[in-house]
Structure 1
Amino acid sequence: MGSLSVLLKESWSFVERPDRLAENFYARMFLADPALRDLFPITMDVQRSRLLQAIVHAVQTVDDPEAFGAYLGALGRDHRKFHVLPEQYITVGRCLIAALREACSTQWTIAHEQAWQDAYAAISVKMITAAAADRDNPPYWHAEVVKHERRTPDIAVLTVRPLQPYPYRAGQYVSVECQYHPRLWRVFSIANAPRADGLMQFHVRAVGAGFVSSALVWKAKPGDMLRLGAPIGTMSLDRTSTRDVVCVAGGTGLAPLKSLIEELATFNRTRWVHLFFGVRSRADLYDLGALNQLAGRHSWLSVVPSLSEDPGAPGCEQGTAAEVVARRGPWQEHDFFVSGSPAMVRSTLSTLSVLGIPRQRIRYDTLTSTVTGA
């Protein structure tokens, strides 16, 4: 896979305007198969960025067959909600490669063409196979909002009840569609470990022009129905590990880390867990009360809140979560989980690299930007 990976990453580096690549791709695809247009929302701005994130993630994981296969398998199961036909993957691949060829211009070579054809063939086969193997599950799940708590002016915690059993693992995320914006799916992390009563929580921040996140924060109410796609993500616990754990959360990136801590609470007796929860101001500590209650029940858990723009708050460290982690330690023998905005994740990974944390002990989802609210 080495030479293939090099060619894929090299050709991607030739793309100067990814936004134009995405526009070109969708225009070609809808022209080639107009029926595909009905699968997508009327407003395509955010959808185009989702495509780019998926491409970048696939390119980044092609050297890791296990991660590559797991990601594409989850993506194939999730895409069942669109009712995509196997033959439509051919159209998508042809249009994607044509758009890449045009974006790379004279730097595109026959070798790049063949690399993308081979990579897309592998991608489509894995996605189609995973979707077919998942046919005993519904393409999506209906879920009722049973509780809606506005924790801050722009953050809400939603509790939902799927109408059918929804199998997932702590740390995963899910694509969500609400009645206020049909066909507009956004992904959010599940904020609790699987429970006997089937209830699930989402921590949602209304972000900028995020139609779905804004609707879930400001419009959603008990009784509303949501649709949930298949669970995605590999940021799960290794139960065979005996190392202590460090969780680094930024904002609503807290959600999947809280679910992992809840899972640990069902079996952990020996591993110390340190949760660093970084936000801008004390008003953003939307779930601190629940975290302190959790720490009060489990002596192995410590919670360290930090504020980057609100100095002098009692009980809080000053700086980002990553900066606070850097002031403590040593951490070389710990397992790390990181969740937050793309900038927060990049900054934290950089800090952990400086601290000498082995990369194989750091777990995070590269699609964090879609998880934390949009």
Structure 2
Amino acid sequence: MTIDIALIRHSWLLVAPAAEKVTMHFYGKLFSEYPHIRELFPPAMDLQRDRLLRALTQVVLGLEDGEALGGYLGALARDHRKYGVRPEHYPAVGQCLLAAMRANAGGAWLPAYDEAWATAYRYIAEVMIQAAEEDAAHAPPLWTGTVVSHEVRTSDIVVIGVEPDRPYPFRAGQYATLQSAHWPRVWRPYSIANAPRHDNRLSFHVRAVPGGWVSTALMRHTRVGDSLLLGPPRGSLVLDRARTPHLVFLAGGTGLAPLKALVEESAWMPERPSIDLFHGVRHSGDAYDVQDLRRLRAQHKRLRIIQAVSGEPEHWPCHTAVDALEYHRVTPDGDVFVCGSEEMVRETTARLRAMGVPADRVHTEFSPERPSFVRS
């Protein structure tokens, strides 16, 4: 199967300016012609439309790298099992997607684009269907977790302990999507804040986002003993990406969670790396995990932790995590892991590059050139 990448890219340039219309057209057509598929989706579709656009962008930009694209599609397929997606749904999605792009190309759509996208979509569907079938042979589509701890640490941050109903095979640095009974079919991603444990328990750091359905439910309306649904583990912010013995971790807010998991994992390595962890918060009261970090520091022995406060002028020095890195004259001569808000990751990555840190030494869950996921 040969995909005409040039035609795919050219046609994408036609519809990209009208991306929002494309997604609205797509879902309108899909739900009107295949109403039984509507039940797989959440009541509100705003974030779902955004996810479709991001997935399409990722596919279009990644067509040359077949191995990486296959990995991305495989992870997407495994995650989609939790929605109840079946092989027979793929033709309907492909047909409606092509119709939506054709209708929003400003009259410039060519028959050759139809053929190129049909070929590309057949490849996408085949990869995803095969990955989902292989995953189904050894893993459930989702896990049911019981809330075993619920610690409110600040006015808007809670640390939740969850015990899945069966082994949950993840790696330190990965994330899981969670669904609360308060919002059926609404999933949000949260980084797992611990390395794998013998008791199979998971820890999540949740910041309640104003207007956020799931985060508010987890913060305000969840209690010990409640059940949550968990999607399969995803993400690639793992220690295997590092190639140097000195690591710098830069965390913003609850972006601390996956980096904390990496510290925990590294503490048990025969040749543990030395780690400088900079945790940036806006206000000193937002430093929600001080005790656990002290425990990790005592356990790790080669870990240094520096708290940076950026939103209090009276707090001196007034620093972000990357400001603190420069202030303490820590040379980022090894691998650097960055996690936080989209803005924090983008600005921190730009600062690191300006310091001369090579791009392949800066590790984030998502590239600064494309949006990260939204936790709400």
> In the alignment, residue 147 of structure 1 is paired with which amino acid?
S
In structure 1, what is the equivalent of residue 125 of structure 2?
Answer: 124
In structure 1, what is the equivalent of residue 336 of structure 2?
Answer: 336
Kindly report the root-mean-square deviation, in angstroms, between the aligned alpha carbons of the 2 structures. Answer: 2.5
Could you say what secondary structure the match of 1:153 adopts? coil
Q: Distance in 1 between matches of 2:267 and 2:277?
A: 14
Residues 225 and 9 (structure 1), Cα distance of their counterparts in 2 relative to 1, 3 Å cut: farther
Q: Distance in 1 between matches of 2:28 and 2:300?
A: 54
Q: Does 1:353 align with 2:356?
A: no
Write out per-residue CA displacement over residues 58-86 of structure 1, whole angstroms, 9 at most, x where no aligned residue. Answer: 33443433332222211111111112111
- Equivalent residues in 2 for 1:147-296 (5 A)? 147-238=149-240, 241-296=243-298
> In the alignment, residue 162 of structure 2 is paired with which amino acid?
V
Residues 183 and 111 (structure 1), Cα distance of their counterparts in 2 relative to 1, 3 Å cut: same
Residues 9 and 344 (structure 1), Cα distance of their counterparts in 2 relative to 1, 3 Å cut: farther
After TM superposition, give the deviation of residue 9 of structure 1 in Å.
7.8
Q: Distance in 2 between matches of 1:98 and 1:350?
A: 39
- Equivalent residues in 2 for 1:44-193 (5 A)? 44-110=45-111, 112-135=113-136, 136-193=138-195
What TM-score comes out, normalization by structure 2 length?
0.90
Q: Distance in 1 between matches of 2:13 and 2:301?
A: 48
Could you say what secondary structure the match of 1:104 adopts? coil
Could you say what secondary structure the match of 1:290 adopts? helix
Residues 116 and 340 (structure 1), Cα distance of their counterparts in 2 relative to 1, 3 Å cut: farther
After TM superposition, give the deviation of residue 223 of structure 1 in Å.
0.6
**In 1, are the aligned partners of 2:3 and 2:119 still within 8 Å (CA)?**
no
Work out the number of aligned pairs and report it: 370
After TM superposition, give the deviation of residue 17 of structure 1 in Å.
4.2
After TM superposition, give the deviation of residue 212 of structure 1 in Å.
0.7
Write out per-residue CA displacement over residues 301-351 of structure 1, whole angstroms, 9 at most, x where no aligned residue. Answer: 11122122113437xx522223333453432x3112121111111112212
Could you say what secondary structure the match of 1:256 adopts? helix
Write out per-residue CA displacement over residues 253-277 of structure 1, whole angstroms, 9 at most, x where no aligned residue. Answer: 1111111111111115352111121
Write out per-residue CA displacement over residues 218-248 of structure 1, whole angstroms, 9 at most, x where no aligned residue. Answer: 1100010011111111111118834321111
In structure 1, what is the equivalent of residue 20 of structure 2?
Answer: 19
> In the alignment, residue 373 of structure 2 is paired with which amino acid?
T
After TM superposition, give the deviation of residue 56 of structure 1 in Å.
2.8
Q: Distance in 1 between matches of 2:81 and 2:357?
A: 38
After TM superposition, give the deviation of residue 35 of structure 1 in Å.
1.0
Structure 1 gap ranges (5+): none
Q: Does 1:370 align with 2:373?
A: yes
Q: Distance in 2 between matches of 1:321 and 1:5?
A: 42
Could you say what secondary structure the match of 1:168 adopts? coil
Residues 269 and 239 (structure 1), Cα distance of their counterparts in 2 relative to 1, 3 Å cut: farther
After TM superposition, give the deviation of residue 297 of structure 1 in Å.
2.4
Could you say what secondary structure the match of 1:86 adopts? coil
Which moved further from structure 2: 282-291 or 49-58? 49-58
